Amino acid sequence: MSTDLILALDVPTREEAAPLLRQLRGSLNWVKIGLQMFTAHGPDYVRAVADEGFNVFLDLKLHDIPNTVAKAVESLAPLPIGMLTLHTCGGREMMVAAQKAAAQTKPGLLLLGVTVLTSTNAAGLAETGVNAAPESQVLRLAKLATDAGLRGLVCSPLEVPVLRRELPAHMQLVTPGIRSAAAAGTDDQKRTMTPAEAARAGSSFIVVGRPILKAPDPAAAARAIMEELGQRHNQTQANDG
Ligand SMILES: O=C(O)c1cc(=O)[nH]c(=O)n1[C@@H]1O[C@H](COP(=O)(O)O)[C@@H](O)[C@H]1O
């Protein structure tokens, strides 16, 4: 199984994003547009990034009553997006409604259920009344999302092994919380792994923002991560062969 990189384009302006996208065109497949860029630049920017040849992951983390979420999915359906997030803690009925809306309006769209945010640890969960280890809570929400018909999940790479054991093989596992060993624990990300570790664990995609965006040469940092993932893929193929 190979693991692909998704660049989290968490910058304030289109102008700031432009040179990086220009340099990565042709080598990077996926760009994630999240709350920062979508609230500032809207659907037009989604179209602009897709027009540059990137697959777009729209990360809006929908979480509302079932009807509202389903209608939001319908409104987003005309956009050129391949992945869209919603919060699994919105519950079964909300996820079923969202999946139904996607199936009817944009069948190719991969709805990704966000489980426990990678910035949350056991203490943070307990403060919200969830007295479970992050791994147990992720597994519970992941099973609920799978039952509701979702085909993809967002979790930390730490939970990928248990999800690979417990869930159907077709589930796409997308993992943010990617940090080098040296950078682990230095910011808001609490459940982290390196790119190679996440790939080895079985992530379908890794999501990386600041380690690329804040690097002295962001395009080179992105290429180094793709190389790290590719090397692991080649090693696996060699071992399989
Ligand atoms: O849904 C997400 O993409 C997401 C879920 C999660 O649990 N943790 C998480 O960090 N993300 C996103 O992944 C990206 C990670 O960015 P960096 O922490 O800068 O690498 C951000 O855009 C987050 O919004």
Q: Show the domains of the chain with their CATH numbers.
A: 4-240 (3.20.20.70)
Give me the catalytic one of 4, 59, 106, 190.
59
153 in Cβ contact with 174 (< 8 Å): yes
Which atom of ligand 1 lies nearest, measured to the CA of 155? 7
The verdict on ipTM greater than 0.90 is yes
Residue 210 alpha carbon to ligand 1 centre in Å:
10
Q: What is the pLDDT of residue 81?
A: 98
Amino acid present at 103: A
User: Is 240 a residue of the active site?
Assistant: no
pLDDT in tens, 7-28: 999 999 999 999 999 999 999 9
Give residue for tokens 């990386």. 208
Q: What is the pLDDT of residue 238?
A: 53
Q: What is the pLDDT of residue 230?
A: 85
List the Cα angle 55/7/219 in 5-degree steps: 110
- Name the residue among 74, 77, 158 with its Cα closest to residue 118: 158
Which atom of ligand 1 lies nearest, measured to the CA of 85? 1
Ligand 1 pocket, 209 CB below 6 A?
Answer: yes
- Name the residue among 72, 93, 164 with its Cα closest to residue 85: 72
Q: What is the pLDDT of residue 197?
A: 97
Nearest CA residue ID for atom 11, ligand 1: 176
Residues 6 or more apart whose Cβ sits within 8 Å of residue 89: 63, 141
Q: What is the pLDDT of residue 233?
A: 53
4 is in an annotated binding site: no
User: Is 59 a residue of the active site?
Assistant: yes
Which atom of ligand 1 lies nearest, measured to the CA of 211? 20
Backbone phi, then psi, for 132, in 5-degree steps? -135, 155
Confidence (pTM) = 0.96
Burial of 169 (0-12, 13-18, 19+ CB in 10 A): exposed
In the predicted model, residues of the chain with pLDDT beneath 50 are: 241
Q: What is the pLDDT of residue 241?
A: 42
Q: How many CA atoms lie within 13 A of 183 on its CB side?
A: 16
Residue 101 alpha carbon to ligand 1 centre in Å:
25
